[in-house]
Amino acid sequence: MKAINGKIILVLFAVSFLSNNVRAQSAPGTDLKNVDLTEVDCDLQKGAMPFVRWINYGGDYIPEAQYYSIYYGTRTWAWNNKYELFRVQGDGTTCLFQANNHTGAALQFYTIEKKWRASLDNVNSDLYLRSLGKIKIVTNKTHEIATFDNNKFIIYDNMEMTKEDATLRFGLNDAKNSGWIGTISDTGLYFGTAGGTNMYLDHIDADNRGVYIGMERSEAQSIKLDTRKKYNLFVKKGILSEDYAIAPMSSWADFVFNKDYQLKPLHELETYIEKNNHLPDVYSAKQVAEEGYSQHDMNKVLLQKIEELTLYTIQQQKEIEALKMQLQESK
């Protein structure tokens, strides 16, 4: 039984690993030479070059200590692991060893005509997977996950990277009709260059998410929560643009010109300014420093003040004209 098992393993692996007539480490991409097995001296009992040995046959040791092993060398070299090429352990572990005078080990695949098709190579500490065609990753027998094709890396559905509480997804949205990059966890997302952050995306709650350009997470979270919930975009240092537009809004300041608009008398306006140090309806310096302000609301308020100033000017002009008439009548 020992000899039969040894011959089976020898037939499977002698072509790839054994003797001077068979190159154990054929260069990836080359074809195998035909092998004349009659020239290979394989004596399982005497251990001539090369040979197969069954370790701990019939013993009571743990499965890791029971294995078939293929060696290259004479019997006197057999226990020197430097010349061990292949091992099948009793626990199912299969080991491929670096051959003497070679930089690594390789599992190579050939057609029946000895044409090279693919290989799994260990060179020094690196692992190479090579193929004449595409390399595909498939699960559940037929479900294709990813394909390596020349200069393309194709991912089907989504690719996820997870560590601790953060999960990054790169792929398609849930409807499978658009590309999607982001997190599916309640964590932020950084975009950056040269090791720095250009943009940070924050998740506040289900209804509030913010985009912070030029900010780190700590800077974004230093902004008052109410302000972060009020706006979607925050830009550090400001924006340079040739132009920008405000979306249509339902409210504007033309109500000042309505007939029923109550324009404050100037003495009331003076009293308000002396007390508050700013115009009515205009943000105070403290509010701007703590909360910022809406550009639309500020434009609306400034227009309101301009329109009120126009009414004051018209009112004063009427008073001037009336005084002129009184002066002329008194002459």
107, 126, 145 — which closes off a domain?
Answer: 126
pLDDT 10s digits, 137-154: 998 888 888 899 988 888
Q: Quote the pLDDT of residue 194.
A: 92
Residues 22, 120 within the same domain: yes
Secondary structure E strands in 157-283: 158-163, 166-172, 179-183, 189-193, 196-205, 208-213, 233-235
Find the largest Cα–Cα distance for the chain.
145
Q: Which of 244, 261, 283 marks a domain boundary?
A: 244
Q: Are residues 10 and 121 in the same domain?
A: yes
Q: For residue 24, what pLDDT band results from cuts at 50, 70 and 90?
A: very low
Clarify whether residues 36 and 104 are in a common domain: yes
Answer yes or no: do 7 and 86 share one domain: yes
**Are 218 and 296 found together in one domain?**
no
Residue 58 pLDDT: 44
Query: How many domains are there within the chain?
Result: 4
Q: Do 262 and 210 belong together in one domain?
A: no
Scanning the structure block, which residue is given the tokens 């400034």?
302
Q: Are residues 208 and 297 in the same domain?
A: no
Give the whole-angstrom CA distance, residue 202 versus residue 51.
64
Q: Which domain holds residue 262?
A: 253-330
Does the pLDDT value for residue 331 go beyond 80? no
Q: What is the residue-averaged pLDDT of the chain?
A: 77
**C-alpha distances out from residue 227 to 13, 67, 190, Å:** 70, 69, 21
Percent of the chain exceeding pLDDT 70 equals: 73
What is residue 119's predicted lDDT score, i.e. its pLDDT? 92
Q: Is the pTM of this model over 0.75?
A: no
Do 291 and 227 lie in a common domain?
no
Q: How far does CA 287 lie from the centroid of its chain?
A: 39
Say whether both 237 and 276 belong to one domain. Answer: no
Say what the pLDDT of residue 17 is: 37
**Are 239 and 206 contained in the same domain?**
yes
Do residues 211 and 231 make contact, with C-beta atoms less than 8 angstroms apart? Answer: no
- Cis preceding linkage at 50, omega within 30: yes
In this structure, the answer to whether residues 87 and 200 fall within a common structural domain is no
- pLDDT band at residue 28, thresholds of 50, 70 and 90? low
What pLDDT score does 23 carry? 28
Please check whether residues 315 and 267 belong to one and the same domain.
yes
| Residue that is last in its domain, among 80, 99, 126 | 126
pLDDT, tens only, 242-293: 988 877 777 788 899 999 999 999 999 999 999 999 999 999 999 888 888 8
Sheet holding 126-131, edge to edge: 104-110, 116-123, 126-131
What is the reported pLDDT for 224? Answer: 87
